[in-house]
Structure 1
Amino acid sequence: MKSLGSIRSDFAPWLDKSAVPFIRFEGVTKRFGSFEAVDDLSLSIYEGEFFALLGASGCGKSTLLRMLAGFEAPSEGRIILDGEDLAGIPPYRRPVNMMFQSYALFPHMSVAKNIAFGLKQEGMAKADIAERVEQVLKLVKLEDYAKRKPDQLSGGQRQRVALARSLAKRPKVLLLDEPLGALDKKLREETQFELADLQNQLGTTFIMVTHDQEEAMTLACRIAVMDKGQILQVATPTEIYEAPNSRFVADFVGNVNVFEGTVRSVNGECITIETTAGLDIAAKSEAPVTAGDNVAYVLRPEKLKIAVEPIGGPNVMEGEVWDIAYFGPVTSFHIRLDNGMIVKVAMVNATREGPLQLTWHDRVFVQFDEDAGLVMTV
């Protein structure tokens, strides 16, 4: 399948079969007693990527990051960084640096001294330390805050100090463990773009652990969706969202409607699905299917249209407004179809009045196009 969505046209090494991965996890397993936190996992990450490990708590993403940092050792398998096997190399000798969610700043030290601490521990010359600190302060736009203490800074400023300290040692790889989790929603959204721009400017390989789907979609060149110590899909954000390879990925990333059913007829890529809810769906299928196959039709809420009058086109359903949630840019409707199924519809609030003047229990029509969803074999 061709690449979907917007990517930097000059940066997509995963599409180049001759490109050599910068980091490789080869058959990596990590056990804690009888529990396997990471299960025979293999993964390639390329130099200059902003890569996200996405999954729920306990899926193994932080363990994977800690093994790369050297805080944990694999029970089986190898981790290769820039051609070097990391086995036996202690954390302080690895060309990586880790930025934690808590930031772990020294409260009694100024911003400049916090940034300089690691460089001083490495024995760098005083003049070189001063020059490096000045460089990274300028990079994160905190030149005027060098003499302040952490408690004199906002949450976003402390986050940038921690980032500057992590970058001061010029690591080959920067590891970020839920880097924006301590910030409020609005500041987190603003900082996401700053962080993405900074990574693009530096060209340093960033690997981020997060459970926040929007954060991963905003920041990452590619995302690995994890569950139970395994990687289920590695792809660009658009591909993860628009072309998930499993029901789990489709349901985990964003909202989704799922229609279970059986293929009744096939005419080229056009198929008819007889659903268990009593609906017949006309769809286009990229996956090869035959009549009689059990399938799931996965449909994102924003792909549906809603109206108070009958709508033309395929796949028209009728029901009543069951729930309404106003999110500012988008209004989410839960429509209870006449067969009892609840369908989620998301509409952009393009005007101040909202997309439609609807209220609870209004009768409505819902429609979607044949190519709006994704057919998955069960």
Structure 2
Amino acid sequence: MKSLGSIRRDFAPWLDQAAVPFIRFEAVTKRFGGFEAVDDLSLSIFEGEFFALLGASGCGKSTLLRMLAGFEAPTSGRIVLDGEDMADIPPYQRPVNMMFQSYALFPHMSVEKNIAFGLKQEGMAKGDIAERVEQVLKLVKLEDFARRRPDQLSGGQRQRVALARSLAKRPKVLLLDEPLGALDKKLREETQFELADLQYQLHTTFIMVTHDQEEAMTLADRIAVMDKGRILQVATPAEIYEAPNSRFVADFVGNVNIFEGKVAAATGDRITIATSAGREIRVASEVPVVAGQAVSYVLRPEKLRISAKPLAGPNVLEGEVWDIAYFGPVTSFHIRLDDGSTVKVAMVNATRQGPLQLTWHDRAFVQFDEDAGLVLTQ
């Protein structure tokens, strides 16, 4: 079995049935009064993995991270790290370190003293501290900023100081709670690749909490999509995007068109769906279905073609250009179909002045191949 899409390296222990997980959440539940933040959740994470917990605010992802760190205790279930049950291990004795979104740097201390603080608290020898600080400063490329205070650094530099401080104690697991949320968009994009490269170099297990889909897709070897305290799907970024296991995951990650309807006919791996909008589409189905069964057909906007002229063949939809958004690499069209529904189409701007001449309120035709999308039954 192979993962869908490219993976960051020759590293996919989750496909090896003999591989032993480094971290296990076993039927973990966490309640705050009458509120269930985490609901009977089980999850395995492997050593050296960059793992992302992705979900909206309140889905339980930060609670899961805090339980692993020891800041919260599970109401039921257990957490195992490197073969050891964490139930009786206090936070300061766990082989983990957490990097917070706020960075929490000491403003009156220099960069090198911020990094050294935790090592001094552990009683490390002065010479060893100096050597360790020098190592991590080099790792995050801040050797020339060792004597500066946090207020003399840019946001990206402060982020790297916080990362260096977290890594200085050489934890087995680094926990990142929205680590790039305080950075502006361009700096965040640059830092994502730096963080991924650093994790690959160290081969330390990273677990990141984020609500940013792009961040999770860029950084993680695998992503767990969460909602209401439960994990809905665990897979590689490409699998989450191209093969979501439910309507919720398809709709949550990236843009998507969703056609609801019932199976009108099924022949082999090809089915005809009578959509709720009153049209029929013919598509490939990887799941067995029967006539009359309710299904959803999910289709990413970039899988459709758009034209100002009528198109021949199956799965042609016609409507009016309702909205246009130019993003540089891609132009996004919202086409209001004659039944009142809307289809989203993304067109790559492969040339500086593309041949497509469509503007607001023009008639437009869109088409998709039978195997362009995915049939879902849940």
Q: Give your verdict on TM over 0.5.
A: yes
CA contact (8 A) 2:304 2:345 kept: yes
Stretch deviating more after TM superposition (349-358 or 362-371): 349-358
Stretch deviating more after TM superposition (102-111 or 306-315): 306-315
SS of 2:179's partner is coil
Runs of 4+ in 1 over 3 A off after TM superposition: none
Q: CA deviation at 1:356?
A: 2.2
CA contact (8 A) 2:116 2:129 kept: yes
Change (3 A) 1:287 1:91: same
Change (3 A) 1:2 1:11: closer
Change (3 A) 1:99 1:354: farther
RMSD of aligned residue pairs (Cα, Å): 1.0
Q: CA deviation at 1:2?
A: 4.7
Report the equivalent of 1:227: 227
Q: CA deviation at 1:354?
A: 4.5
CA contact (8 A) 2:308 2:357 kept: no
Does residue 21 (structure 1) correspond to residue 32 (structure 2)? The answer is no
Does residue 165 (structure 1) correspond to residue 168 (structure 2)? The answer is no
Deviations along 1:236-273, one digit per CA (max 9) or x if unpaired, are: 00000011011110000011111111111111101111
SS of 2:123's partner is coil
Report the equivalent of 2:71: 71
For 1:270 and 1:66, the matched residues in 2 are separated by 47
Normalised TM-score (structure 2): 0.98
Does residue 32 (structure 1) correspond to residue 32 (structure 2)? The answer is yes
CA contact (8 A) 2:2 2:15 kept: no
SS of 2:265's partner is strand
Normalised TM-score (structure 1): 0.98
SS of 2:313's partner is coil
Does residue 272 (structure 1) correspond to residue 272 (structure 2)? The answer is yes
CA contact (8 A) 1:313 1:369 kept: no
Q: How many residues align?
A: 378
1:218 partner letter: T
Q: CA deviation at 1:355?
A: 6.2
Deviations along 1:287-337, one digit per CA (max 9) or x if unpaired, are: 111111111111111111000112233201111100111112111100011
Report the equivalent of 1:183: 183
For 1:47 and 1:112, the matched residues in 2 are separated by 29
Deviations along 1:4-33, one digit per CA (max 9) or x if unpaired, are: 100145200000000000000001000101
Report the equivalent of 2:241: 241
1:10 partner letter: D
1:60 partner letter: G
Gaps of 5+ in 2: none
2:366 partner letter: V
1:103 partner letter: Y
For 1:343 and 1:218, the matched residues in 2 are separated by 27
For 1:354 and 1:93, the matched residues in 2 are separated by 60
CA contact (8 A) 2:315 2:368 kept: yes
1:26-65 alignment runs, 5 A limit:
26-65=26-65
For 1:10 and 1:361, the matched residues in 2 are separated by 49
1:71 partner letter: F
State the identity as a percent: 85
Deviations along 1:205-240, one digit per CA (max 9) or x if unpaired, are: 000000000000000000000000000000000000
Report the equivalent of 1:200: 200
For 1:330 and 1:306, the matched residues in 2 are separated by 13
CA contact (8 A) 1:347 1:355 kept: no
Q: CA deviation at 1:77?
A: 0.4
2:129 partner letter: I
For 2:154 and 2:8, the matched residues in 1 are separated by 32
